[in-house]
Structure 1
């Protein structure tokens, strides 16, 4: 991942992660998903990254969407 991108959320569900990514992009926040799930058994996480300067805006939008907001534990 390039410098300046911050992981703000991890998902187990690919559909939910795509919905959140699309919602962020529709609101002018660039977002990238990094799928770390095993392709056969679908265990692992899908990580959502946004540019550092949009972290607060993304957190607010995700909170409004109804999911939990940024958890520092997710970033590790």
Structure 2
């Protein structure tokens, strides 16, 4: 993982990640997904990352939408 990325959200359901990615995109924040779900067993989390300089803004957006 890149040194300039920081995790801001994790979920086990992709639709939650998609909602947050759309909100971040509307605010011109680029995001990246790391999906750690297994193929055979659908366990594990999906992690969402942003650049460190966007961390505060991204967390503010997420908290405003109760995610």
TM-score norm. by structure 2 comes to 0.91
- In proportion to residue count, which structure has more strand? 2
| Residue 53 of structure 2: aligned partner | 53
- Write the distance in 2 (CA, Å) between the matches of 1:7 and 1:61: 14
Equivalent residues in 2 for 1:1-76, closer than 5 Å: 1-67=1-67
Q: Which residue of 2 aligns with 1:70?
A: none
Structural RMSD (CA): 0.9
In structure 2, list runs of 5 or more residues that go unmatched. Answer: none
Aligned residue pairs, count: 67
- Helix, strand or coil for the counterpart of 1:18? helix
Moved beyond 3 Å, runs of 4+: none
Alignment deviations for residues 4-44 of structure 1 (CA, whole Å, 9 cap, x no partner): 00011111111111111121111111111110001222100
